[in-house]
Amino acid sequence: LKTNNSDQHTLLTDKRYKMNISLANRSESYHSTEYNHFNQDKKILKYIDAHQCELSGVTAHDLEIVFTEMPLTSIRRSLTNLSRRDKFLQAVGKRRYPNQPSTVYYTTPQGENEINSLFFNQRSKKNGY
């Protein structure tokens, strides 16, 4: 997702597209230090783009991504590797929304100004995303 600074600011501050991140289903191995780090790390917050939501048939207000069985460091490590990143996002998507295609936007660990988008559904793969 390529945007200028003003567009990014709008996307990041528009509450309509801000995803709730639930830690309720985290495994017991999720350490308290990582939990605190996760809460403090605004760069890992998820956001939904309205247009992409329309394309994927998912509404922004009822989307919620639940990370399970992976500490934040593993999530970040996976996001730097395309193959592992795709597998991870597919696993998260299928576990949470087995029948819904989803689009995830996240800011990278390297900085707040870069937002990446990933499809993890069969339709997007067929379309070459």
pLDDT tens across 77-128, in order?
444 444 444 555 555 444 444 444 443 433 333 322 333 333 333 334 444 4
**Is 128 a domain residue?**
no
Gap between the Cα atoms of 29 and 83, Å rounded: 24
pLDDT, residue 128, reads: 43
Number of domains in the chain: 1
Average pLDDT, the chain: 40
Query: pLDDT tens digits for 1-28?
Result: 444 444 443 333 333 333 333 333 333 3
Taking CA 116 as the corner, what is the angle to CA 13 and CA 65, rounded to the nearest 5 degrees? 70
Q: What DSSP letter does each residue of 5-23 carry, written as one string? A: HHHHHHHHH-GGGBPEEE-
Q: What is the mean pLDDT of the segment spanning 40-52?
A: 37
Gap between the Cα atoms of 51 and 29, Å rounded: 37
pLDDT, residue 87, reads: 52
Query: pLDDT tens digits for 50-74?
Result: 444 444 444 333 333 333 334 444 4
Question: Does this model's pTM top 0.85?
Answer: no
**Is 129 a domain residue?**
no
Containing structural domain, residue 51: 5-123
